[in-house]
Amino acid sequence: MDWHFANLEYGCAAPLKEVSLPYWNQDDVYGGFGGAHCMIKGGYGTVLDHLFKGIDVRLNHVITEISYEVSDLNEIDGRPKKVRVRTSAGEEFSADAVLITVPLGCLKANTIRFSPALPDWKESSIQRLGFGVLNKVVLEFPNVFWEETVDYFGATAEDSNSRGHCFMFWNVKKTVGAPVLIALVVGKAAVYGQNISSEDHINHALMVLRKLFGESSVPDPVAYVVTNWGLDPFSRGHTPLLQ
């Protein structure tokens, strides 16, 4: 059962105790996203590279303030005529309108100052929604030692508290063209895991794999990445959830 609970915690990006019982899966009513799960070769960035063609995109500009003058509203639709955006480097941009797509975690942490302030209904929605944590341990090995045809495989834990610590491994050999596994860290393990080192996460993933495949079959990884989205100042979490 713990494995299945961990799988749900992966879907909700939070320990189950933090998720709303009546509303945790309310998007199912709308059919969720149809079709098969897929992976984009090269990552989401490749989609953006295509969309960016011919558009002036400024990376590495940290927005600190978005403002407009309440005395300068359009008489027809009541919207501001000009919106100003300020960056941490002190630059200022002006536009007819601004679309904000920063993660919910950043809005909850008020990393951008809005002037005038956001309306109460919007601010209270931002604060009432939860923003869960989930992380990944990406390991590149010198060779494939797992069943190459599977998309993923699971591992059960002996202790319920760590049921989400590397409970599932994605085989991304087909997508990235190298012997790479991605281990998922979810639930309580994701919350507590934010405060343990990358090395500890890697050692845990290797311990789980060596239990599954045998000590001598699992070599040390040649490269790794361990995410920590909750502590990333530009994410501050992973997925919105109803608490």
Ligand X SMILES: Cc1cc2nc3c(=O)[nH]c(=O)nc-3n(C[C@H](O)[C@H](O)[C@H](O)COP(=O)(O)OP(=O)(O)OC[C@H]3O[C@@H](n4cnc5c(N)ncnc54)[C@H](O)[C@@H]3O)c2cc1C
Of 220-239, binders to ligand X (CB under 6 A) are 227, 229, 234-235, 238
State the amino acid at position 106 in one-letter form: C
Of 108, 136, 165, 204, which one interacts with ligand X (CB under 6 A)? 136
Q: Which residue has the tokens 């909850």?
A: 108
Of 191-220, binders to ligand X (CB under 6 A) are none
Q: How far is the CB of 111 from ligand X (least distance, A)?
A: 5
Nearer to ligand X, 164 or 218 (CB): 164
Q: How far is the CB of 184 from ligand X (least distance, A)?
A: 9
Under 8 Å CB-to-CB from 113, ≥6 apart: which residues? 64, 65, 66, 67
Secondary structure of 96-108 in the HEC alphabet? CCCCCCCCHHHHH
Of 15, 80, 103, 193, which one interacts with ligand X (CB under 6 A)? 103
| String of DSSP letters for 151-190 | SEEE---SSGGGTTEEEEEEE-HHHHSS-EEEEEE-HHHH
Nearer to ligand X, 136 or 188 (CB): 136
Q: Which residue has the tokens 């995109």?
A: 57
Does residue 134 interact with ligand X by CB under 6 A? yes
Q: How far is the CB of 105 from ligand X (least distance, A)?
A: 9
Binding mask 56-95 for ligand X (x = CB under 6 A): ------xx--------------------------------
Of 32-51, binders to ligand X (CB under 6 A) are 44
Q: How far is the CB of 109 from ligand X (least distance, A)?
A: 10
Nearer to ligand X, 106 or 155 (CB): 106
Q: Which residue has the tokens 């040390």?
A: 220
Does residue 111 interact with ligand X by CB under 6 A? yes
Exposure on the CB side of residue 95, measured as CA atoms within 13 A = 9
Does residue 100 interact with ligand X by CB under 6 A? no
The answer to whether the Cα torsion of 180, 184, 189, 191 is positive or negative is positive
For 27, phi then psi, to 5°, come to -70, -15
Nearer to ligand X, 25 or 111 (CB): 111
Contact 51, 45 (CB under 8 A): no
Q: How far is the CB of 12 from ligand X (least distance, A)?
A: 13
Start-end of H helices in the chain:
2-12, 45-51, 104-108, 120-128, 173-176, 187-193, 198-213
Q: How far is the CB of 123 from ligand X (least distance, A)?
A: 17
Nearer to ligand X, 107 or 206 (CB): 107
Which residues bind to ligand X, rule: CB under 6 A?
A: 44, 62-63, 101-103, 106, 111-112, 134, 136, 227, 229, 234-235, 238
